[in-house]
Amino acid sequence: MTAASRRLFLQIASASGASLGAGAAAAATPARPVLTPRRLRPGDTVGLVSPANATYEQEPITIAIESLRALGFQVKEGRHLRARRGQFGGTDTQRAEDLNAMFADDSVAGIFALTGGSGCTRIVDRLDYANIRRHPKFFGGFSDITCLLNAIQQQTGLVTFHGPVASSEWNPYSVANFRALVMDGQAALLRNPVDSTPAGLVPTEHRITTLRPGKATGRLVGGNLTVLAALAGSRYWPDFRGAILFLEDINEFIYRVDRTLSTLRLAGALDALAGVVLGQFTNCEPGDGYGTLTLDEVFEDYFGGLGVPVYRGAQFGHVKLKLTLPVGARVEMDADAGTLRCLAPVVSAA
């Protein structure tokens, strides 16, 4: 499909409400009206839950709590925050109960995941989405939390936040981006750090690569590639029509990245995107065997022919310096500049 025909296709589908792609038609439910959580303020109480992995040592939990307090919040621990079953932060029932309880608790202004890991797909069908819709509030994290961020947004319309978990390194860059969106309520410009004094002739860190130039607007959808693909075919699968897809991953051989992108393509997720933003694919290497495609080649194969803007290298994923990205909010991407701009505040003042 050419770029011109794709634009026409999107216009016709938008006017008629038609589904795009067999997989998308079968799985995605229509997007709900967008709900924005109240902005977080110093002095607010935030809930701390562990919906994925257990944290085996006490010090990371202590540091996470101290970090949230340093941001100005009071912290309320989930009842099962320190529980463990296998690698998980408690049983499926316990982890879901903690998240449901925090959304229902009117004394809690927002909710942070303690860490990522695995297991959120085990509890995504145990969340009380009607309760979440009645009590919209900030919920943030990344990695395996991708499952819950997209499911909550899809089922309730609530803007969720792909950003640091409580146990992340809250460095000045990560804090500034978080504050701008979630606490100050800015319609922020999201961009990589600017290296004004490179050690060599040109900057070598935090570089942006433009795969396809141009600008586009749409809802942000995405997160960790492997976790997002695990939702395919379920009622928690996002609606990708007219969306800006953002993706990252870690510790996956390139052939696995390729296979997982095939899942998105076969499920119809790539059929009618407005644009693509690729973050950090940390430690995604060739592995053993006869050789492999490069990530450059894989990304070109899947995104090069979509006829939409695409850029790579955005500062989100399994890295220390993290952007906070509002899942479900409308943004404008500029693939030449390597930026995302929120079209309106993504939190409410009330």
Residue type, 241: R
Positive or negative: CA dihedral 232, 237, 242, 248: negative
End-to-end CA distance of the chain: 45
State the catalytic residue, choosing from 80, 174, 248, 252.
Answer: 248
Coil, helix or strand at residue 281: strand
Active site residue 248: yes
State the catalytic residue, choosing from 80, 162, 206, 318.
Answer: 318
Per the CB < 8 A criterion, the answer to whether 182 and 41 are in contact is no
Cα torsion at 308, 178, 32, 330 (round to 10°)? -30
141 CB neighbour count, 10 Å cutoff = 29
* 142 φ/ψ angles, rounded to the nearest 5 degrees: -150, -175
> Strand pairing partners for 275?
244
Per the CB < 8 A criterion, the answer to whether 61 and 81 are in contact is yes
State the catalytic residue, choosing from 19, 143, 168, 174.
Answer: 143
Coil, helix or strand at residue 181: helix
Active site residue 162: no
Nearest 5 degrees, angle CA 84-CA 56-CA 125? 40
Half-sphere exposure of 34 (CA within 13 A, CB side): 16
Per the CB < 8 A criterion, the answer to whether 278 and 244 are in contact is no
Active site residue 206: no
Residues with catalytic function: 143, 248, 318
